[in-house]
Amino acid sequence: MAKRDPDTLRHSTSHILAAAVKELFPKVKLGIGPAISDGFYYDFEKREPFTPEDLKRIEKRMAEIIKRALPFKKKMLSRSQAQELLKKDKERFKLELLKGLKGKRISFYTTGDFIDLCKGPHIKSTKEIKAFKLTSIAGAYWRGKETNPTLQRIYGTAFSTKGELDKHLKRIEEAKRRDHRKLGKSLDLFSFHDEAGAGLVIYHPKGATLRRIIENFIEEEHKKRGYQSVITPHIYKIDLWKKSGHYDFYRELMYFFKIEKQEYAIKPMNCPGHVLIYKSKTRSYKDLPIRYFELGTVYRHERSGVMHGLMRARGFTQDDGHIFCTPNQLKKEIEDTVSFALDILKTFGFGYKLILSTRPEDCIGSKKNWEHATKALKEALKESKLEYEIASGEGAFYGPKIDIQISDALGRLWQCSTIQVDFNFPEKFDLSYTGKDGRKHRCVMIHRALLGSIERFLGVLIEHYGGAFPVWISPVQVKILSIADRHLKYALKVKKRLEKENLRVELDSRNEKIGKKIREAQIEKVPYMLIMGDKEVKNNTLSLRLRSEEDLGEIKIDRFIRRISLAIKKKE
């Protein structure tokens, strides 16, 4: 028997979840229950919070409903019949959804006595649901707006076989073990504090070291490719944001304040500053392309319900770049930028997936410019022989874009890199260059961020490696463990030698048993441990252990330095 479409299977299972909840808690009101990546959820309005015990009861009732082998039947009602049914059941959220639906006939689906407003599709019968599991409970705003009622969201997943489900659940457990928020605390990398404000990251010494290593690397890579580093302000007058279009399309995510009766906004993006640098003097075709780069910190008013550690913060830094070029240079610049982004992601050990996002309904600029920009992106991908998917209507408000999703060790996809073509900013800000003919011509602008948000990238990186970073980016590369006080002098000598080689070294000279020191260094995920006792002091050697618990025994200092230096050079 052929496998069912996973989204159809999961959406159908969400209906069974809703049916079970209504049987157990008849007063509960229904929200929505879509399929999502690897699962589904359903939102409910319930006065008392669901408990883990409730989840077990609901799962048991779902299993009972599934055993009844109930068919999913489509039922078409007139708009007045649909309204009457939903009013009778006092389903106020469904009534709100009904108002937004077009047409005279409204689609419902029934499963036994349960009926739900739904366009489908569904599987034929509940007996097709072979393996499912409810995974968690969370809060959610109705339709994602903070001003709307708070609902309770039950998450679950469903697969065609029990084996697939078991594999998925193991992956969930591994994801919990790798959670960057948990590792950020245990590895002493960063923290969040209510007294500082939600979504604002505070980096501890090791976290700051990790971030600096990545930023220094990314800055050097930009220099190699002809980018010029710039620094722009954190605030601008409101007039600039109105001119750029951010005020109209982005203001719900912006912070505003007044200084001497003049309204300002904290920047949610870096592009206006780079535009002003370009405009500061006359440009010739001989100057182009001009590539600006900035590690620019921005702030966005993310809703409290969507913030998630480093992955979704209110304050974050972007490796932001803007390229100003002629129309003839556009395709080559896009190709080079895509290649640059993929080189960076490969260096950090990530896979990737490319998505071309096209013109949304709510946008600025002419259709002609959008078509020109989209064509340039498609041709660049074709010339680079890269496979991609199309996300219709998902472009930025000012232009189409290539998004590069990175694939981590668990096969999860994360949005980080983006490359956006913009004909509209040059029009709005009158960005031009003098051509060979001596006349003014309109330039083209490319917005691009390769890591995207540094915070988000760090979160993904932590989870990808489970905190066991490659040697070249590990905040602490070597931990020296002295067995007794009499070995401390030699340990300090070795530490000094390693630091001369620009290695990041810590010394644990505490009066503790060596076994405890080793275990703690392994928990801290330090790549190399150097143990120093009587034998090592006498032979002028080191005893080398890896965080994998492998004991490599005695080694000469010079040989160890060659080993670690090679690993760093190869970005391992």
The active-site residue out of 116, 319, 320, 422 is: 320
Task: Name 351's bridge partners.
Answer: 407
Compute the distance between CA of residue 203 and CA of residue 207 in angstroms, rounded to an integer: 5
Task: Check residue 393 and give its pLDDT.
Answer: 83
Give the residue among 397, 402, 389, 398 at the shortest CA–CA distance from 422.
Answer: 398
The reported pLDDT for the residue numbered 132 is: 96
- pTM, rounded to two decimals: 0.84
Give the tokens for residue 205.
């010494």
Q: What letter represents residue 307's amino acid?
A: M
CATH 1.10.3720.10: does it fit domain 185-462? no
Terminal C-alpha separation, the chain? 45
What CATH number does the domain located at 6-173 have?
3.30.980.10
Q: Which residue has the tokens 């232009």?
A: 399
pLDDT in tens, 486-524: 999 999 999 999 999 999 999 999 999 999 999 999 999
The residue type found at 306 is V
Tokens 């770049």 identify what position? Answer: 321
Question: 300 an active-site residue?
Answer: yes
Provide the residue type at 172 as one letter. Answer: I
Catalytic residue among 122, 178, 291, 447: 447
Q: What is the pLDDT of residue 43?
A: 96
CA distance readout (Å), 171 to 9, 349, 408, 411 = 20, 19, 12, 9
Rounded-to-integer distance, Cα 566 and Cα 572, Å:
9
Q: What is the DSSP string of 183-203?
A: HHHHTT-EE--TTT-TT--EE
Q: Are 106 and 77 in contact (CB under 8 A)?
A: yes
Residue 301 known to be catalytic:
no
pLDDT value of residue 537 = 95
Name the catalytic one among 318, 329, 405, 477: 318
363 part of the active site: no
Does the active-site annotation cover 320? yes
Domain boundaries, the chain: 6-173, 185-462, 471-569
Residues 454 and 459: their CA atoms lie apart, in Å, by 9
Choosing from 153, 211, 291, 401, which is the catalytic residue?
401
Alpha-carbon distance of 572 to 570, in angstroms, equals 5
Q: Tell me if residue 343 is catalytic.
A: no
Count, in order, helices (H) and strands (E) of the chain: 18, 28
> Average pLDDT of the chain?
93
Tokens of 139: 């809060």
In which residue ranges of the chain is pLDDT below 50?
1-2
> Known catalytic residue: 405?
no
Instruction: For residues 293 and 295, give the distance between their C-alpha atoms in angstroms, rounded to a whole number.
Output: 7
Q: CATH classification of 471-569 is 3.40.920.10, yes or no?
A: no
Instruction: Determine the Cα–Cα distance for residues 535 and 490; give it in Å rounded to an integer.
Output: 12
pLDDT per residue over 6-23, tens digit each?
999 999 999 999 999 999
* 551 close to 557: Cβ distance less than 8 angstroms: no
pLDDT of residue 4: 65
Where residue 385 falls (left for φ over 0; alpha for ψ -120 to 50; beta otherwise) is left
User: For residue 559, how many other CB atoms are within 10 A of its CB?
Assistant: 12
Tokens of 377: 């992106």
Q: For residue 149, is the peptide bond before it cis, meaning its omega torsion is within 30 degrees of 0?
A: no
Catalytic residue among 118, 271, 416, 443: 271
d(CA 299, CA 253): 8
49 cis-preceded (ω within 30 degrees of 0)? no
Q: How far apart are CA 314 and CA 82, in angstroms?
A: 42
Q: Please pick, among 300, 314, 464, 525, the residue that the annotation labels catalytic.
A: 300
Structure tokens at 538: 């006498």
Q: What is the H or E stretch that residue 241 is in?
A: helix 238-244
Task: Reply yes or no on whether 464 is catalytic.
Answer: no
> Beta-strand (E) ranges in 360-503?
389-391, 401-407, 413-422, 432-434, 440-442, 444-453, 478-482
